[in-house]
Amino acid sequence: MKNIVILISGRGSNMQSIVNANIPNAKIAAVLSNNPNAAGLAWAAERGIATAALNHKEFASREDFDRAMMQLIDQYAPDLVVLAGFMRILTPVFCRHYENRCINIHPSLLPSFTGLHTHQRAIDEGCRIAGCTIHFVTEVLDNGAIIAQGVVPILDGDTADDVAARVLKVEHQLFPQAVADFVSGSLKIEGKRVIKQNLSDATAQLLA
Ligand code: GRF
């Protein structure tokens, strides 16, 4: 059984999709947040999952917060840390500690549009497609090896909210699959490429 700790900052719909997937050999050990008011915390607690929040505003520095969060996370002996809408830039000390066992979802087709406001920026650039990327976390923001990407169209007249809603549906499909592939030991990192072996049934079906 692999222990998974999920970090959220808000509503936690991606976290919910991972919990609801009932991934074999995966235990959702805790859902943690930097925001005590994150709606997803209550959802997880109602399902008997351990929850806790550390308010980042109460820490003197970004690194102080990260070190405290690492202590909290490590109480659950995680095999995998999942950043599911965790809206914090992480310090090198955090990224190194969880190297190759921390994954993030980013709402763009990386390497395009790192950072914030990704959908509006894609619209402003006239892109015909948008999407999401699940990747390993490294010290460089939104830059680690890519596990999965999903693509949606950008239609004429779309607002950023329209695109976000379309992308979110794909996020909810891809993220549980990526976690399942990690848990089953199917992901091997070779440089910036993630080689996928023994794919989960869900991923194999998508490729069929
Ligand atoms: C997602 O769109 C994710 O890509 C971005 O923040 C959003 C989080 O949504 N980083 P939720 O909290 O999982 O509902």
Domain limits for position 4:
1-98
**What pLDDT is recorded for position 204?**
67
**What pLDDT is recorded for position 24?**
97
Between the CA of 104 and the centroid of ligand 1 the distance, in Å, is 10
**What pLDDT is recorded for position 203?**
63
Q: Is 168 in the pocket of ligand 1 (CB under 6 A)?
A: yes
Residues 81 and 160 in one domain: no
**What pLDDT is recorded for position 197?**
87
User: Tens digits of per-residue pLDDT, 26-77?
Assistant: 999 999 999 999 999 999 999 999 999 999 999 999 999 999 999 999 999 9
**What pLDDT is recorded for position 200?**
61
Residues 30 and 115 in one domain: no
**Best residue for ligand 1 mutational test, from 82, 135, 171 (most atoms within 8 Å of Cβ):** 171
Between the CA of 140 and the centroid of ligand 1 the distance, in Å, is 20
Residues 204 and 127 in one domain: yes
Whole-number Å distance between alpha carbons of 120 and 36: 28
Residues 116 and 69 in one domain: no
CATH of the domain at 192: 3.40.50.170
Residues 44 and 70 in one domain: yes
Q: Does any domain span residue 78?
A: yes
pTM to 2 decimal places: 0.95
53-57 own/partner pairs: CB under 8 Å, 24+ apart:
56/88
**What pLDDT is recorded for position 188?**
96
Encoded tokens for 144: 């680690």
Q: Whose CA is nearest to atom 6 of ligand 1?
A: 85
**What pLDDT is recorded for position 202?**
61
Residues 200 and 165 in one domain: yes
Whole-number Å distance between alpha carbons of 43 and 16: 8
Q: Which atom of ligand 1 is nearest to the CA of 83?
A: 10
**Residue 106 catalytic?**
yes
Strand partners, 35: none
Contact between 151 and 131 under an 8 Å Cβ cutoff? The reply is yes
Q: Whose CA is nearest to atom 14 of ligand 1?
A: 13
Residues of the chain with pLDDT below 70 are: 199-204, 206-207
Residues 72 and 116 in one domain: no
Residues 71 and 8 in one domain: yes
Contacts of 43 (CB under 8 A, 6+ apart): 12, 15, 16
**What pLDDT is recorded for position 36?**
97
How many domains would you assign to the chain? 2
Number of other residues whose CB lies within 10 A of the CB of residue 128:
9
Residues 62 and 112 in one domain: no
Residues 8 and 64 in one domain: yes
**Best residue for ligand 1 mutational test, from 6, 8, 9, 13 (most atoms within 8 Å of Cβ):** 13
Q: Whose CA is nearest to atom 4 of ligand 1?
A: 107
Strand order in the sheet with 187-190: 50-53, 26-33, 2-8, 80-83, 102-106, 129-136, 146-153, 193-196, 187-190
